[in-house]
Structure 1
Amino acid sequence: MIDYLVEGERPFAASSRPFDEDGMRELAARIVDRTIDIAAQLINPFLLDAGAPWRHRLGKIQAPTLVRRSCPRPCALRGPPGCWR
């Protein structure tokens, strides 16, 4: 399970900084230790209703706005970790 969690995060690493596998492995171990139902932990976020679409309203923002990305490629989730590849 720890390997699965680590590999699920690898695609989100920035190319400007090496992937911290040891740190991610430590975090994954903590997640596994404290989670009662790991399947629910991995699946439930993708089942939540995000509400009405809002992206089309971004162009209407009139306040000064800074958009900062730390990842040089799109990092949008498209499903559970097994679907990212």
Structure 2
Amino acid sequence: MKNLFIPSTFTKEGWLQLGLVGDKQQSLADSYSNTGSMYLTSLVFIALGLPETDEFWTGPFTEWTQRKAWSGKPFKKDYAVKY
């Protein structure tokens, strides 16, 4: 969270900037999002709703999107899963 909520994360008016790491990587923002889409920032906690037996917790280590982003590696934009 310390890396995410840096001063350029917010506009002069106090609204969230679209993108990741403040005003950087704005190409990651979805076109339907706006500065009022606070629910998107809460998605960091979604995995906590998975049971402890879920593959997310029990599977082998895999680099995830945020890890790639913070280390400067390229990654594809995430999209919803269709079941």
TM-score normalised by length of structure 1 = 0.30
TM-score normalised by length of structure 2 = 0.31
Larger RCO: Structure 1 or Structure 2 (Cα < 8 Å, ≥ 6 residues apart)? 1
